[in-house]
Structure 1
């Protein structure tokens, strides 16, 4: 169907592809993966002819038609309705429909035999092309991608870029090319739409190449993975999970071959060095020199698995209760988002808010952050410090700053070495840290903003679609960071793998209520499947667990004396909590100083000195644990007294 042979392509002096080859057959469903900047989107543009290879060839069969969905389509505007734009996929059918309408109109006043023949000819071709079903097909695909029936006559220009992209995807799917090229199709789709596209791609009659960083999406709809690495296209006959296992196996084999070859090279070089001056060994020496020159060298295995190896610190420890909504409602004009709903977040909760677009997920994050007005009671707990990540905050980065300077502004008192170490975890190494923000890609800016947020020492994070524009390595870094994070967070995301790795509670908005499933995403999916099966069987589905709400407060009629006594006790507890917090800060500083001493070569090189410092360190650590426990007890007592 399509063959890529010995492809080489350069950006300046940099080779994106170096004699790369790939053969695409009908019915292939290929996931094209690789780190950002390796040339995945470039390959798609080479296939459609937007770029020309420097060397090699891309050839296709005569009947191969190509459809390409790319991010440039976000800016496409039109005064026409989205249904009309989607119907542009049926170019010949639309021409015939127009001609049929013109002939029928003319026949109203001029009924001639030649018009009847003309009409019959047009209608025959129109019917052969299945023209009478094109509108229903377009409506089905648009609604599958999340549009309501009432939206179909709305002009395209009134929709945001993400929704326009869905219209262009619908148009492309209606064209049914023999080779479908999709560049990050899930970036602007919500979960129901992603699942619909998965089902469509699985049953697509032609071949498909998909650039995606969504692991679940690739697992569910591709039958091969092509990894772009080192200028080559490495083919794996299976889905993404198969690729992970197979690549590990290939790396192990390659690592063994590399080590064996290096041992042989060292042995040969030692022989040459030892006997190069001896005339009696000159023939054997020359033979080994030629063998080295002709050797087909095995590449060293590069470890592409980035690891997060630094500890996130919290500026303050919050109380047990982080955030609560009671009897809360929210509407935009006639559109109701929430109606008399409750929600609760406790310390240590890792919440993922999922569901279709338009349900109010981002609105909910803004309500929690306090930037969105709301009817009802909104309560933030003691010592809660917010940090909010959303795509618009990429614009808040100072474009004239270097990456390193941007992190310095967080005021976390970390040294340059510590900041560089953190940036290394986010894939900025060596001189990369001196790049200016203005030259970074969208994915690189996202990594900088995420690093800043995690350095903020906030104990309550709000993240709105944090994996957008991140490649798989970067998503894995964020997963590790959040798994190590000891605070609390609420995340909005459509990336199912990401959610399954970082959430211990699932929120979803249904019937204008915030509903909670108290478990992981994988458990939630099974529970939802059981609910759906129960509905189909006519059985009442199991109820969802209700979010925690505050217990009703008993009505207490305090006397003046009791009220004064309670206020005195409250003041005393607040003072004790403040003293304990100061003690915790003092002990944490001592603990940090003790750790630095233990890392001092002069200390750990002296057995006696090391033992003394280790003993002091253990004592500080135990005292810190005891004071933290006391602070916890006093905080619970204080919160109980404040809430009564």
Structure 2
């Protein structure tokens, strides 16, 4: 389908590609990976014809079609509705529709036999091209990408850049090109939409090329990985996780080959230096000099996942409660975001707030930070809480004339220059790179600077809104390590599943105007949610006759005795749920205290003490699992009773 043969491409004196080759077949779903600046987007632009290779060739059949989702599409605006823009994918069909409309208009005043015949032919062609289904197809795609029914007729220009990009993605999917190229598509999608696009791509008939920093998305969406490194394209037959394992094995071989070559070079250079002045050895010396000149140099292995060590210091320790809002409402006009919701954020919480866009995640961040007030409800800020807020607009607050090091000096952290250099080294700014001006940095580099400023601010409570946007995978790994070492409290909004699975110990999600909490990791929440959905689906399938009598009674009006029994059961379930929740929080706090003590030299340096602490830790962990299961059971009981709550 598509062949890249010995392609070389240069930006000025910089070599982007040198003799790079790749063959793309139908149904290939290829992830293009590599460091920022390696040339991933450049490769897509070469395939699309935006750039021409300096050497080699890119060939494909004449009838092969290419669809390219790239950041340039963000600038596209029109007064046409998003449904109309999406339906532009069916250009030939719409052209026939226009011809049909013109003939019908003409027939209103001039009804001729030849017009009737022409109309019949066009209508037959329109039907054969499935013209009567294009609107529903467009609506289905846009709905999958997160658009509501009432938004379909709204003009494209009225949406933000991210939502406009979704429309352009929908249009590309409807076009069904032979080669579909997606450049960082998850930057503009929320979690439900990402999961929808994963399912869509799994059955895509054409080839798909994806540039993405989202590891989980790559694992689920691709079946081949192509690494861009040092101007070459290296292909691995599997998803991103397979690529990491295969690359690790290849790196070990390369490291051994590199070290062997370096040893041989040193030995050869020593021979040349030793016998350079001896006439009897001139021939051998000259032979070794030529051998070195012709040697195909092996590169050393680059560490894509460096380990970092961040030194976090707090001038103040916060109280037990970081933030609390009780029974609050929030609405924008007729759109209700929260209704009677409760929020309690405790010291030491590592929370990921997840869900679809438009559910109120950003509103919740503003409520917690005090930047916006609730329509009803009392907000209480915690004692000695110092908050740092990171969002994409922080990139605009960077002083573009500052050098990177100077920008961090202005963060007010009182860190020494050497300490700031160490922090920048953790965020992949090495050597003289720290003297680059902000204005010459890429979006990903600016994100790293802004994140570094946030993390050194000595805040004991962090609020991070989509921090992984514009970061490549090594940079995301750096952020994960930094947050794992952070000793304060944080609340993260993200759609990156790998990221939140590594940094969160609690999951928040918004449902029916309420803020709900799951006291566990993202993976545990996914399993729990799947279990709940399966149980609800099973109940829904049962006919009324097959349900237990207790279930049948739900549909009946309650007698006084039944009402009293319901009130008794509900009160008990509510009390047991709250009691279990308190116990879970108590055990989680105890578990964290034990984990901290394990790092104490007095503990890990004393075998007897270490064994004692480990035994206590295992006991607390086991008890926590048992109490969490009990809590979940009481949550289900309360939910079931609320479903039959009498009016």
Flag whether TM exceeds 0.5 (same fold).
yes
Which residue is equivalent to 1:33?
Answer: 33
State the partner residue of 2:306: 306
How far apart are 1:278 and its partner, in Å?
4.6
Query: What is the distance in 2 between the residues matched to 1:63 and 1:388?
Result: 50
Deviations 1:463-490 (A, max 9, x none): 1111111111111111100000000001
Taking the aligned partners of 2:430 and 2:260, their CA distance within structure 1 comes to 30
Matched, 1:525 2:502: no
Give the corresponding residue for 1:267. Answer: 267
**Change in 2 beyond 3 A, CA 1:392/1:548:** farther
The 2-side partners of 1:353 and 1:462 are apart by 11
The alpha-carbon distance between structure 1 residues 281 and 70, as it changes in their structure 2 partners (threshold 3 A), is same
- Residue 271 of structure 1, CA deviation: 3.3
The answer as to whether partners of 1:404 and 1:433 remain within 8 angstroms in 2 is: yes
Provide the secondary structure at the position in 1 that maps to 2:530: helix
2:177 corresponds to 1:196? no
Residues of 2 paired with 1:45 and 1:353: CA distance?
Answer: 35
1:547 shift after superposition:
8.9
Q: Confirm or deny: 8 A CA contact 1:276 1:282 kept in the other structure.
A: yes
Distance 1:550 1:207 in 2: 49
Say yes or no: does 1:55 pair with 2:55: yes
Report how far residue 548 of structure 1 moved: 9.9
- Distance between the aligned counterparts of 2:382 and 2:286, measured in 1? 79
Q: Distance in 2 between matches of 1:320 and 1:393?
A: 29
Unaligned runs of 5+ in 2: 541-550, 552-572, 583-600, 606-647
Q: Distance between the aligned counterparts of 2:343 and 2:320, measured in 1? A: 15
Report the more deviating stretch, 372-381 or 291-300: 291-300
Change (3 A) 1:550 1:206: closer
Distance of 1:366 and 1:487 partners within structure 2 = 20
**Which residue in 2 is equivalent to 1:124?**
124
Alignment partner of 1:401: what SS? coil
Matches within 5 A, 1:446-457: 446-457=447-458
Q: Which residue of 1 aligns with 2:642?
A: none
Q: Separation in 1 of the partners of 2:183 and 2:140? A: 22
Instruction: Look up the match of 1:205.
Output: 205
1:270 to 1:482, Cα distance in 2 relative to 1, 3 A: same
Match of 1:391 in 2: 392
Q: Distance in 2 between matches of 1:220 and 1:442?
A: 26
Preserved CA contact (<8 Å) 1:326 1:549: no
| Structure-1 separation of matches of 2:317 and 2:405 | 28
Conserved 8 A contact 1:31-1:209: yes
Which residue number in structure 2 is paired with residue 182 of structure 1? 182
Contact between 1:342 and 1:549, CA under 8 Å: does it hold in 2? no
Q: Report the alpha carbon displacement of residue 410 of structure 1 after superposing the two structures with TM.
A: 1.9
Residue 447 of structure 1 deviates from its aligned partner by 0.9
Residue 231 (str. 1) matches residue 231 (str. 2)? yes
Q: How big is the shift at 1:341?
A: 1.0
Secondary structure at 1:365's aligned position in 2? helix
SS of equivalent residue, structure 2 residue 177: coil
Cα RMSD, aligned residues only: 2.2
SS of corresponding position for 1:187: helix
Question: 1:392 Cα deviation (Å)?
Answer: 1.1
Deviation at 1:6, TM superposition (A): 1.7
Residue 284 of structure 1: CA displacement?
A: 4.1
1:89: which partner in 2? 89
**Partner Cα separation in structure 1 for residue 6 and residue 228 of structure 2:** 14
Matches within 5 A, 1:93-108: 93-108=93-108
8 Å contact 1:516–1:547 — kept in the other structure?
A: no
Residue 287 of structure 1: CA displacement? 3.9
| 8 A contact 1:255–1:300 mirrored in 2 | yes
CA gap 1:87/1:371 in 2 versus in 1, 3 angstroms: same
Q: Please say if residues 216 and 496 of structure 1, whose CA atoms lie closer than 8 Å, have aligned partners that are also in contact.
A: yes
Correspondence 1:468 to 2:469 = yes
Which residue in the other structure is 1:600 paired with? Answer: none
CA distance in 1, matches of 2:417, 2:460: 24
Aligned-partner SS, 1:324: strand
The more displaced of 94-103 and 207-216 is: 94-103
Write the deviation string for residues 121-169 of structure 1: whole angstroms up to 9, x where unpaired: 2122212211111111111000000011111111111111111111111
1:348 paired with 2:348, answer yes
Does structure 2 retain, via aligned residues, the 8 Å contact 1:225–1:235? yes
Match status 1:22 vs 2:22: yes
Structure 1 residue 110: Cα displacement: 2.7
Which residue number corresponds to residue 139 of structure 1? 139
CA drift of 1:312 comes to: 1.1
1:292 is matched with 292
- 3-state SS in 2 of match to 1:328: strand
Offset of 1:320 from its aligned partner? 1.4
The answer (yes or no) to whether the contact 1:225–1:238 under 8 Å persists in 2 is yes
Q: Does the aligned pair in 2 maintain the 1:343–1:548 contact within 8 Å?
A: no
* TM-score, normalised by the number of residues in structure 1: 0.82
> Whole-Å Cα distance in 1 between the matches of residues 296 and 92 of structure 2?
55
| Structure 1 Cα separation of the partners of residues 481 and 581 of structure 2 | 33
1:500 equivalent to 2:501? Answer: yes
Summarize the Cα distance change of 1:253–1:207 in structure 2 as closer, same or farther, 3 Å threshold.
same
Distance between the aligned counterparts of 1:20 and 1:186, measured in 2?
Answer: 27
Change (3 A) 1:546 1:116: farther
TM-score by length of 2: 0.82
Give CA-to-partner distance per residue, 1:268-327, whole Å, 9 cap, x none. 333344444555545444444443333322221122223322311112111112111111
* Equivalent residue pairs, number: 552
Q: Give the match for residue 378 of structure 1.
A: 379
Q: Contact (CA 8 Å) 1:343, 1:547: kept in 2 or not? A: no
- C-alpha distance in 1 between matches for 2:384 and 2:578: 23
Which stretch of the first structure deviates more once superposed, 267-276 or 497-506? 267-276
Moved more, 264-273 or 412-421: 264-273
The Cα shift of 1:411 comes to 2.3
Corresponding residue of 1:169: 169
Asked if 2 retains the 8 angstrom alpha-carbon contact of 1:32 and 1:40, the reply is: yes
Q: 5 Å matches for 1:400-439? A: 400-439=401-440
Deviation for aligned residue 1:104: 2.4
Per mean C-alpha deviation after superposition, the further-off stretch among 430-439 and 217-226 is 430-439
Q: Any stretches of 5+ residues in structure 1 without a counterpart?
A: 552-613, 619-644
1:218 Cα offset (Å): 0.4
Deviates more, 1:197-206 or 1:267-276: 267-276
How big is each residue's C-alpha offset from its partner over 1:373-398, in whole Å with a ceiling of 9 and x where there is no partner? 11201112211111111111211112
- In structure 2, do the counterparts of structure 1 residues 546 and 125 end up closer, same or farther at CA, with 3 Å as the change threshold? farther
How far 1:45 sits from its partner (Å)? 1.1
SS of the aligned residue for 2:188 comes to coil
Q: Which residue is 1:221 aligned to?
A: 221
SS of equivalent to 2:4: strand
Q: Give the secondary structure class of the aligned counterpart of 2:340.
A: strand
Give the superposition deviation at 1:550.
11
